[in-house]
Amino acid sequence: MTVYGLKGELLLKHVLGKKTSLKGLLAIFVEDNKNSFLPWFIQSTRIKSEDELYLKLEGIDSREAATKLVQKTIWIPEADFKKMVAISAPASYLGFSILHEKKYLGNVLEVIEQPHQILCRIEINHKEVFIPLNEGTLQKIDRKKKEIHVQLPEGLLEVYL
């Protein structure tokens, strides 16, 4: 998020994959500290572009107050996220199972978009593993079963494990 104007409005960049005003969403959650989230109630929103919107939060009435929220991670409840995310957006892969050679590896915990590929963070044996999705690794995405089938380069999993 960045500050917009002098009255506490914020410019929020999102990964929902389509224009949205977050209609029906009452609050967002801002990561205050690691794994600590504070709710902020939405006063108003306006669409700016495909992946940005202006956001006015209750209690934030000045540029200085808004500055405290800049560079913070924003979260919305999972049920609301699923209603708002475009089916074609990489963020829609959250919760999907990753399968390599028909073997379950883990569920997608985070999606990181990069210029030439998408990285899906999963956990295997309590260790963080990043699975690249690109034309060389992605075999198919089964949206009905919520599965992503990949063919990983030899040795990739061993690097993490």
**CATH number for the domain that contains residue 137:** 2.30.30.240
pTM of the model: 0.72
Assess whether 8 and 77 both reside in one domain: yes
Residue 10: predicted pLDDT: 92
pLDDT score of 82: 84
13 and 49 both lie in a single domain? yes
| Cα 108 from chain centroid (whole Å) | 11
Q: Which domain holds residue 94?
A: 90-160
Residue ending a domain, among 56, 84, 112, is 84
For position 47, what pLDDT does the model report? Answer: 93
Is the confidence at residue 147, as pLDDT, over 80?
yes
Helical H segments across 17-161, by residue range? 63-67, 78-84, 156-160
Whether the predicted pLDDT of 71 surpasses 80: yes
Please state, as a whole number, how many other Cβ atoms lie within 10 Å of the Cβ of residue 26: 10
